[in-house]
Structure 1
Amino acid sequence: MKKLMVYSHDTFGMGNVSRMLVICRHLLKSIPDLSILLVTGSPIIQSLRLPPGLDYIKLPCLTRTDYEAYSVKYLGTEIGETIQLRSDLILSAAVNYKPDLLLVDKKPTGVKDELVATLDYLKSDQPDTNLALVLRDILDSPENTIPVWKMRGYYDTICAFYDLLFVLGVPEVFDPREEYQFPRSVSNKVRFCGYLRHESGTRSRSEIRTELGLAEADKLILVTPGGGQDGFKIIATYIASLPRVQAKHSVKSLIVCGPEMPEAQRQTLHQMIRQNLNISFHEFKNDLVSYLDASDVVVSMGGYNTICELLSLKKRAILVPRAEPAQEQYIRAERMQSFGLFTVIHPHDLAPELLAHELLGELNHTHNRRALSRPDLDGLPRVAEWVSTLLFGSRKPLSSVDSGSTHVSLRRGVTA
């Protein structure tokens, strides 16, 4: 049996752990006799469906208070002592689980360096353990990312500890080697894998539309701000835009506010909806992909997972990306819009009139969509190939590979 340990810190929203679970599910299907231990601080991990072969260790929750700033979410303890507790738990997991491969999401040394003790231990006491860093397509703007990576020594950490760096994107959309000024020693470890294709939902489009009471001529608009922690404005603006949309189309709405939306905001939205029978309001949907597939238009933020779902389902969508404190979502949305894939509204410009105008454009199919420019979606099998190489191959040749330019094409989806 091969053992894979996965670190996913999740201090804001539910995107990181959801993405890593998508990867873990595919790895368990692709690699026989694999055991996965997920170490995460996500508060919603117990609500997610976990595949056989995977278990998790729950770290005390943190929350992001500002750019690169964190506080303790529930315990009421100081951030320093909580980070130490988390660090000790991660190290204990590595010591006792003895992974063949450690897969680290996003931060090379973890939140506030909580992974450093584990990295040092693995290098000195378990030198046969391979390490891979997983980066989504975009972390943040270069202006924000480069100073942080230099200050925290991330470039040196990658050189010293990591065998490979998986980028879950394509360089035609965003090339971190150039945008973030990776040294050659780091660039050589980069493997562009492509975006992650999401599987179809467990229920059919017709089944979902019947459940929601849609007639054949009805249009379904799904609104989802991800975890919902900062999604109130999007939903409130959508509700205010509906009279203009409903004047032109027979529309039913499914709003999934997210499990992390504050209770007071949820109650305010309930009051705005009142007894409107054409709006279905939910906190969470375990099989959201089925509902996305049944929809005619989606209104969402611009998180990585949501974009992958929309691309996989070839959905018309209006994106209202988060633009602060991190600009990752806005940059991604703008790049996708430049390929004609989605409509984007900057959150500062969001207003009922504008949203209604864009919704009508999507419902009327007046916005052209260039299907040939869809980014490559074969990220999961490529990640599985590289993980298999790290699990079953020789470490030293991989660490010295000088072909870090391996990437996939935006239009044709082929390795180049």
Structure 2
Amino acid sequence: MRLMVYSHDSFGLGNIRRMLAICNHLLDAIPGLSILVVSGSPVLHSFRMPRGLDYIKLPCFGRNESGEVAAKYLNTAADETVKLRSDLIKVAAVNFKPDLLLVDKKPYGLQEELKATLDYLKLRLPETKLVLLLRDILDSPEPTIKEWQKYGYYDALQWYYDQVLVVGMPEVFDLSREYQFSPCIAQKVRFCGYIRRDYGQKPRHVLRQELQIQPDEKFVLVTPGGGGDGYDLVDTYLQGLAQLSPQHNIKSLIISGPEMPLFQRQALQEKIQPYPQVQICEFTDDIASYMDAADAVVSMGGYNTICEIISLNKRAVVVPRIKPVQEQWIRAERMAGLGLFKTIHPDLLTPAALMDAVLEQLNSRSHHFPPVSRLDLDALHQIAQDIHTLLHSPTTRLVSKKPILFPQVISTQQA
């Protein structure tokens, strides 16, 4: 069986890390599976690739000074880069002939670069199953509904896709209801739960020895994900740390992320010089080991990071981003309401507020870990079951000639 995975990820690490975790599990769960990943991630080569998986690296997208999508490294126009990426994706599908195409987040791909491939598969390889993977929350409802209507994403789900897998729970965010999916589309939606993150490659005690953490020291991991917009969080943490007396005996590791601009990483390197108890590195593909070794975590509110926090039962302070979308804030607020961690709105972030929250987590006298039992963390198993079923089921996709009627955009309660 052949699985082709499309990840548009040109920004940050989140999507590609999530998709690779899913791919690794699928290779273990489905015998004889071959997976071809097609992605624009600039750090794809940094991850360990298991046997049975290979990838095609697309030219990277980034954003120019105006915030518009543009080629990140090539001196080519945006439309030229889209055409190049679109052709590469289609050629891969034509020659690989996937039994199933798994698409991450955007039904038509970035800048609609996937549409030619979808049309080809529908016409020439109609037996190929099409599955869209959505994270638990995309954005607050009103802008999401407007975007999906504007770009025809509801059409895509109705005409092209056999199933929509959501790595989340309706008890946290009912995506079908919040985004006003039609009954036809809602029938294709499968809530799979959240993705449980495995322990890392190194045991907790080994990593703490490598970091020279003494028995009487507390270890705080600071991780702003990809790091593209993580400087303020790290800088605020360092300012808060400077206000503490040495008796708190805290050792900190900052993983800045490969997307943090070089000048910001250099600025942080200078700021930590007076603090021998603070270390900084750019990237690791084994973040779970460092998180497991930590006594507390300071992070942003990305999907993968939150799944790691709750999977490893970590006490954490989460400062989500609120731009350009509200996804992280909605997730952080609702999960903090379940008692899974502490959250601070970025508008209320100060060195004192952050350090008070960190000390609260470090000094908690409770021996009970956060109530992760409230969340379903079995998404990988459920995804594997659903994809296995689709791979071994006959094609039943129907094409209707009736127009799709979309619901009106209504005011929806914001989280």
Per the normalisation by structure 2, the TM-score is 0.93
In structure 2, the residue matched to 1:403 is none
In structure 2, the residue matched to 1:233 is 232
CA gap 1:245/1:382 in 2 versus in 1, 3 angstroms = farther
In structure 2, the residue matched to 1:165 is 164
How large is the Cα RMSD of the aligned pairs? Answer: 1.9
Q: Identity percentage over the alignment?
A: 54
Using the TM superposition, give the Cα deviation of residue 346 of structure 1 relative to its aligned residue in structure 2, in angstroms. Answer: 1.2
Using the TM superposition, give the Cα deviation of residue 374 of structure 1 relative to its aligned residue in structure 2, in angstroms. Answer: 3.3
Structure 1 residue ranges, 4+ long, deviating more than 6 angstroms after superposition? 366-369, 397-400
Matched, 1:376 2:376: yes
In structure 2, the residue matched to 1:318 is 317
Segment drifting more, 92-101 vs 247-256: 247-256
In structure 2, the residue matched to 1:405 is none
Equivalences for 1:10-409 in 2 at 5 Å?
Answer: 10-64=9-63, 69-365=68-364, 370-371=370-371, 374-396=374-396
Q: Is the 8 A contact 2:272 2:279 kept in 1?
A: no
State the one-letter code of the partner of 1:342.
F
- Which SS does the other structure have where 2:55 is aligned? strand
Using the TM superposition, give the Cα deviation of residue 247 of structure 1 relative to its aligned residue in structure 2, in angstroms. Answer: 4.4
State the one-letter code of the partner of 2:391.
L
Using the TM superposition, give the Cα deviation of residue 53 of structure 1 relative to its aligned residue in structure 2, in angstroms. Answer: 0.6
State the one-letter code of the partner of 1:351.
T
CA gap 1:25/1:123 in 2 versus in 1, 3 angstroms = same
Q: Structure 2 CA distance, aligned partners of 1:144 and 1:67?
A: 21
Using the TM superposition, give the Cα deviation of residue 173 of structure 1 relative to its aligned residue in structure 2, in angstroms. Answer: 0.2
User: How many residues are treated as equivalent by the alignment?
Assistant: 399
Q: Structure 1 CA distance, aligned partners of 2:383 and 2:99?
A: 16
Using the TM superposition, give the Cα deviation of residue 373 of structure 1 relative to its aligned residue in structure 2, in angstroms. Answer: 5.3
In structure 2, the residue matched to 1:407 is none
CA gap 1:245/1:296 in 2 versus in 1, 3 angstroms = farther
Q: Structure 2 CA distance, aligned partners of 1:32 and 1:275?
A: 54
CA gap 1:152/1:380 in 2 versus in 1, 3 angstroms = same
- Which SS does the other structure have where 1:135 is aligned? strand
Q: Deviations over 1:233-256 (max 9, x none)?
A: 011111111134444521100110
Q: Is the 8 A contact 1:11 1:41 kept in 2?
A: yes
Using the TM superposition, give the Cα deviation of residue 397 of structure 1 relative to its aligned residue in structure 2, in angstroms. Answer: 8.2
Q: Is the 8 A contact 1:11 1:64 kept in 2?
A: no
Q: Structure 2 CA distance, aligned partners of 1:372 and 1:49?
A: 29
Q: Structure 1 CA distance, aligned partners of 2:218 and 2:398?
A: 51
Using the TM superposition, give the Cα deviation of residue 21 of structure 1 relative to its aligned residue in structure 2, in angstroms. Answer: 0.1
Q: Is the 8 A contact 2:314 2:370 kept in 1?
A: no
Using the TM superposition, give the Cα deviation of residue 370 of structure 1 relative to its aligned residue in structure 2, in angstroms. Answer: 4.9
Q: Structure 2 CA distance, aligned partners of 1:8 and 1:67?
A: 24
State the one-letter code of the partner of 2:91.
S
- Which SS does the other structure have where 1:281 is aligned? strand
Q: Deviations over 1:159-202 (max 9, x none)?
A: 10100000000000001111100111110000000000111111
Q: Structure 1 CA distance, aligned partners of 2:363 and 2:274?
A: 28
Q: Structure 2 CA distance, aligned partners of 1:83 and 1:273?
A: 41
Segment drifting more, 350-359 vs 97-106: 350-359
Segment drifting more, 86-95 vs 69-78: 69-78
Q: Is the 8 A contact 2:10 2:41 kept in 1?
A: yes
Q: Structure 1 CA distance, aligned partners of 2:372 and 2:259?
A: 36
In structure 2, the residue matched to 1:410 is none
CA gap 1:163/1:334 in 2 versus in 1, 3 angstroms = same
State the one-letter code of the partner of 2:29.
S
Q: Structure 2 CA distance, aligned partners of 1:354 and 1:387?
A: 45
- Which SS does the other structure have where 1:233 is aligned? helix
- Which 5+ residue runs of structure 2 have no aligned equivalent? 401-415
Q: Is the 8 A contact 1:196 1:380 kept in 2?
A: yes
Segment drifting more, 13-22 vs 363-372: 363-372
Using the TM superposition, give the Cα deviation of residue 71 of structure 1 relative to its aligned residue in structure 2, in angstroms. Answer: 1.6
- Which SS does the other structure have where 1:311 is aligned? helix
